[in-house]
Structure 1
Amino acid sequence: MNEIEKRKVVEHNDLISSVAKMDKTPLKIFELAVSCIDTENPPKDNIIYLSKKELFRFFKVSDNDKHSRFKHAIEVMQKQAYFNIRQNKELGIEYESIVPIPTVKWNSYNDDVFIRFNPDIMPYLIDLKNNFTQYALSDVMELNSKYSIILYKWLSMNFNQYEHYSHKGGRRKEQLEEYANPSIKISELRQLTDTVNEYKKFPDFRKKTIDIPIEEINRHTHFMVTYEKIKKGRSIDSIQFHIAKKEQPIELNGEYKEREQDPAYLQGKVNKEVTQQALFAEAMQSPYTMELITSTLLSPVEMTDINLMANLQQEVYLLYKELENIVGLEGVRKHLEYVSNKKLDYSKPNLVKYLKTAVMRYLDSGDTKQPEEDKTRYLKTKGNVKAVNGNKIPDHRYKPAYVNETTPEEQKELERIKKQFSDSMKK
């Protein structure tokens, strides 16, 4: 791992929530420069030095024209790039426009690039006692769209709060769920991405600022993200995101490193990962996944959990197939409605065990042999919902958007989500 991939970027939340009036390249140069700041020992006179070699490696530039392209990017950054920062002051909202890096100097005979930050931007980079967000520079490095970077930082800001308060406490369960499933109004998302006057048609706006960024974020960063559209009347009022973190290897000590170099261990690890990915892919294509979502037993964000979906495929779906052979798919659906209506407070790690136990008891009970007309009919409830502007929105931890009868539009959206994660596993 090189030095760039080890670095973190730390920024105040007000800066992350600001409007970046710049293109992708100036924004990435700024992120790279910020990663060089030691918040414990702020740079003297707000000056840091970048390496040209590091800069070109960060942008993966290797052609002969790289120096002139770098010069042009710096000129554009200094002439056009600024942050429009909104602060909540006691007397009202206050706006501040800041050119973040007014001075850049370099020459042709050494590797150093001199960068001086604007003093007005420094409080958002070093005075970080609270309300700040940290994320990996390597995540930003791989993103190829300005909107991807902006959305990634905003999602990081929310999910970091979820992780922080999950460990430290101090927030209600509902508040934690909001951090992991943040929503943003379309008008606010347009301001954040600086597209108030662009992409007037919603499909174009969604593709540029949501679909493409999420595809990049899922492929290149530590996050797996899905989203859904929240309507107000006939119009799309807001977007709700569902964020999950990809599993990372845990380095225990030197024993871990030695074990990682053992060919037998490595082969076993590869085989296990391949098996998990295969089971995950099967689960994403299984009709039982759709039935679990429809029955509010599985949420879109939980679909991003590879272990969970692989275990459902291996432990539960085979039993559902056995049940379907006896009572048909409609019988499986009624069983899931019954399980959902029990409203037991199970935790995520116990979901597979809970569903497996329920279907095994049903198979062993003998009830599956009853004639259809003699079976008890269980009416599906609508679950725990919140009213927002007259529209009912489900509790997304255990009550996802796909409840009751699925409309063609919702079915299409689910298929898009399934394909998205299936494609990401192949890459």
Structure 2
Amino acid sequence: MDLQNKKVVQSNILIKSIAKMDALPLKLFELAVANVDTKEKDPEVELEKDLIRTFLPRTNALRHDYLQTIMTNLMDKSTFTVKYTKENGKKKTEIFAPFSKIEFSEDESAVKLSFSNKIMPYITELKKNFTQYRIEDLRHFTSSNTITIYKVLMMYYNQYNNYVASGKRTKEELEKLLNPIVEVDELRELTVQDKNKYDRFFDFKKRVIEPALKEINEYTEFNVTYETIQVGRKIAKIQFHISNNSTEKLLDKITSEKKLSLSDVQNSPYTALLLGAMLVNFADANNESLMMRLGKNVYPKYDVFVNKHSLDDLQKHLKYVKDHMSSKPNELDKYLIKALDDFEKNKGKYAKRDKSKLKQKEKLPDWAKDDTAQKNILTEKGIQRSKEIDELLEKINKDTSD
């Protein structure tokens, strides 16, 4: 079997769960997941003994008694712990084994593994919020800590790749995904499974973090470094830095993309929204410095907001901003960014809406999905442009073309 292009795909919930198993059982679990037929959602997979042997620390023949020891360990000493918060706010913990049955014999060349019903949704029903990575990357890892940290880093790297492809994140937001910040306590809980909890960060760094990053840097295409973030007298967070050749090229490409023109910004639907909310006027729309700052700093954040919430929510937000703005700020772009950040931190504070409506996202308008249509199209669920706004935009376009 060619492992170079074979991928493991798992739900992010499983990525962030606590996997209580040694390195070898964990690698064999990942190998089994890589061979699941997600179309058929068949809970049974067969792994050739020769393939299993390539994941073992020794390369001699896979004797039946040795295989039995490995599979007994995989069956009896392997669990996942998933923690989440229910709708009523109560925390819940689920602990389950990955396999319900393992079959093999001396005269057969393959081992049959049957996944438990509990784990199947995390590896087959993957419509969103999942992570994929190469099974080959895990083959030479000697510690379960390395595998766990690698999977967490790949969760962020996958998001980076997805958003680069969709174009729905700014360069700064993409860079945050390549430089994720993880709580030390969270990472300690995911990795340290023995009695020694490494409460001192120095011990945790030496025993867990640095050996894991050394293996990741040696056996994969990624180069990962880190730095610590101190809160008070305690090292509370770790910021990882993930890079490879493709990340540098993609970020360079984003940096070198065509710059916005004044006409682009003036014709943006967001300019129409701001005009409609009376946050900008005709004079503002002809202020090149202001409009370019809006186009560069504010409009990309509105793209993200509309994708996350709805166009209707953005319109209501802008109305709230106008109604509560005592006087026009000197730096409108910074003011609008702060207002949007405050909205995200205090969702639901600005308008009282029925809970059922909060769950119903408005269908994204065509202009939010298609850049080519962005200049001219607003959905009927968006704002209804008034005649005055049409005239203002027409005059702006006429002035810029003269």
> Is the CA contact 1:143–1:216 (under 8 Å) kept in the aligned structure 2?
yes
Per-residue CA deviations over 1:201-241 (Å, capped at 9, x if unaligned) read 22221122210100100110121101001111222111000
Per-residue CA deviations over 1:134-183 (Å, capped at 9, x if unaligned) read 10000011211111000000000001101110120233444322211001
> Is the CA contact 2:181–2:240 (under 8 Å) kept in the aligned structure 1?
yes
> Is the CA contact 1:147–1:208 (under 8 Å) kept in the aligned structure 2?
no
> Is the CA contact 1:224–1:244 (under 8 Å) kept in the aligned structure 2?
yes
Distance 1:229 1:66 in 2: 46
Q: 1:234 to 1:122 in 2, by over 3 A?
A: same
Q: How does 1:15-414 map to 2 (within 5 A)?
A: 15-43=14-42, 46-59=43-56, 61-64=58-61, 66-92=63-89, 93-195=91-193, 197-246=196-245
> Is the CA contact 2:224–2:240 (under 8 Å) kept in the aligned structure 1?
yes
Give 1:74 shift: 1.3
Q: 1:114 to 1:140 in 2, by over 3 A?
A: same
Question: What SS class does the counterpart of residue 39 from structure 2 fall into?
Answer: coil
Q: 1:165 to 1:41 in 2, by over 3 A?
A: same
Give 1:98 shift: 1.2
> Is the CA contact 1:9–1:31 (under 8 Å) kept in the aligned structure 2?
yes
Map of 2:317 onto structure 1: none
Identity level (%): 38
Letter in 2 for 1:75: T
Give 1:66 shift: 4.4
Per-residue CA deviations over 1:289-326 (Å, capped at 9, x if unaligned) read xxxxxxxxxxxx97xx9xx9xxxxxxxxxxxxxxxxxx
Q: 1:66 to 1:209 in 2, by over 3 A?
A: farther
Distance 1:72 1:100 in 2: 17
Map of 1:394 onto structure 2: none
Question: What SS class does the counterpart of residue 141 from structure 2 fall into?
Answer: coil
Q: Unpaired runs of 5+ in structure 1?
A: 248-300, 309-427
Distance 1:107 1:65 in 2: 12
RMSD value, Cα: 2.1
Q: 1:106 to 1:174 in 2, by over 3 A?
A: same
Structure 1 residues 92-101 or 106-115, which shifts more? 92-101
Q: Unpaired runs of 5+ in structure 2?
A: 253-402
Distance 2:86 2:47 in 1: 35
TM-score, length basis structure 1: 0.55
Question: What SS class does the counterpart of residue 111 from structure 2 fall into?
Answer: strand
Task: Indicate the structure with greater helix content.
Answer: 1
Give 1:114 shift: 1.1
Give 1:6 shift: 2.7
Question: What SS class does the counterpart of residue 113 from structure 1 fall into?
Answer: strand
- 2:7 is equivalent to residue 5 of structure 1: no
Distance 2:197 2:139 in 1: 26
Letter in 2 for 1:141: R
* Aligned length, in residue pairs: 248
Give 1:106 shift: 0.3
Distance 1:65 1:115 in 2: 17
Distance 1:116 1:75 in 2: 14
> Is the CA contact 2:64–2:106 (under 8 Å) kept in the aligned structure 1?
no
Letter in 2 for 1:5: Q
> Is the CA contact 1:4–1:58 (under 8 Å) kept in the aligned structure 2?
no
Give 1:14 shift: 0.2
